[in-house]
Amino acid sequence: MLQLLAAVLATSAFAPMPQAVDQDMLASLQAPSLSMMEEDGDGSVIAVAEEDVPNFAQDVEGNLGTRLSFTFHYAHLFNSKIDDDMGEFDMDQLRFRVKGSTAITDDFSLSYGFRYEYDGFNFAEGGFFGAGQPWSDIHTVQFNFGGFWSLDDHWSVFAGGVFRFARESEADWSDSLEAGGAAAVSYRFSDTLTIGGGLGVITQLEEDPLFYPIIIVDWEIIDRLVLTTRVSTGWANETGIELVYHWTDNWDVGIGAAYDYQRFRINDEGPIAGGVGEFTALPFFGFVNWNPLPAFNASLYVGVNTYGELKAVRSNGSTAASVNYGMGFLLGAQGTISF
């Protein structure tokens, strides 16, 4: 159900006031992606397909050259009870992302990137998940690549792929590989409205490939108020929706909802030896973003995870446990440096 919900959450990406932006790269293709279009100062179209689950991302600047950005992210999900007396848990989340872009011509740019994710699950004693500790520390290493074509003043196309390794500590790398790709097209109707769509696919561990839609809608509602599915701060893989108010030139405030979907290989030591774990989350949050310099911004956010699922799958493909977990508060921070 949450996979379908992710497709709904990724229905739009709404652009802020016309401005030049950097290029991002293709990101994790693990749930429906986010996209947006922007217009730079000279009126040329800039396309963005923003990350994280599956995601694929790029911002294209109209000048030749290479751009890089480095993002550090930390979040903590406080204690959450698992349904049916199966235990409780809290979670630490770390992210480090490198995004790059190289404009080959005025109309074509390459995007590329690297992403490391750490998810530390702390299960309390009791219940299936507590007593058995089916998994603990999850590590994900991901590489992205893609391209963007500006066909004319209205039409733009972007496409690319990703491969990643998602595994618990000491699990086999060779059994943890997922890969996929996505493509989309967008049309700019006006300075404040862009609509488009596409299709993506990603392989899944011990499961059929996941096909997902890419739906692009950019909308500046009024001056300084933006509704966007390019989630720039907040929980996890940046798949969701935000309502952002550009309070000043250096400060933004907003509210949002995100979606996180992860599937990873479990090591050979626990009760689900060699199997697969799955985690989903649906948090709502408020945030403040500080942008003191063009090359640096920092965000702080607080919220509540309203719903999620935990699933443990044995190595033979049978389900050992699949259960929802309850509400939990979250706190996080993020910083980005661009060159």
Reported as a single tens digit per residue, the pLDDT across 83-92 is: 887 888 999 9
Q: Which neighbouring-strand residues pair with 200?
A: 182, 212
- Residues 238-282: pLDDT tens digits? 567 888 899 999 999 999 888 888 999 999 988 889 999 999 999
Q: Which residues contact 269 (CB under 8 A, 6 or more apart)?
A: 170
Question: What tokens does 93 get?
Answer: 């989340």
> At residue 29, does pLDDT exceed 70?
no
Does some domain include residue 316?
yes
Closest CA to 3 of 181, 213, 243: 213
On the question of pLDDT at 3 being above 50, the answer is no
pLDDT computed for residue 233 by the predictor: 58
Residue 301 located in a structural domain? yes
The DSSP code sequence of 263-311 is EEE--SSSTTTT-EEEEEEEEEEEEEEEEEETTEEEEEEEEEEEEEEEE
How many angstroms separate the Cα of 254 from the Cα of each of 7, 265, 337? 22, 35, 21
Which residues have CB under 8 Å from 293's CB, separation 6+?
none
pLDDT digits (tens, 9 = 90+) for 153-195: 999 999 999 999 999 999 999 999 999 999 999 898 888 887 8
pLDDT at 130: 64
172, part of any domain? yes
Residue 189, classified by CB atoms within 10 Å of its CB into exposed (0-12), middle (13-18) or buried (19+), is exposed
Q: Given CA atoms 322, 328, 333, 338 in this order, what sign does their dihedral have?
A: positive
Find the DSSP H helices in the chain.
2-9, 127-132
The H-or-E segment that residue 41 falls in is none
pLDDT value of position 232: 62
Let me know if residue 66 belongs to a domain. Answer: no
Phi, psi of 241 (to 5 degrees): -150, 145
Round to the nearest angstrom and report the end-to-end CA distance of the chain: 40
Whether residue 219 lies inside any domain: the answer is yes
Rounded Cα distance between 261 and 239, Å, is 10
Q: Is residue 13 domain-resident?
A: yes
Predicted pLDDT of residue 154: 93
Instruction: With respect to residue 139, please indicate whether it lies within any of the assigned structural domains.
Output: yes
Encoded tokens for 44: 């040329």
> How many distinct structural domains can be found in the chain?
1
CA distance 145 to 162: 6
- pLDDT tens digit string along 16-27? 223 333 333 333
As a dihedral over the C-alpha atoms of residue 118, residue 123, residue 128, residue 133, rounded to 10 degrees, the angle is 60
Whether 165 is covered by a domain: the verdict is: yes
- Check pLDDT > 60 for residue 42: no
- The domain of 316 spans 2-61+74-89+111-338
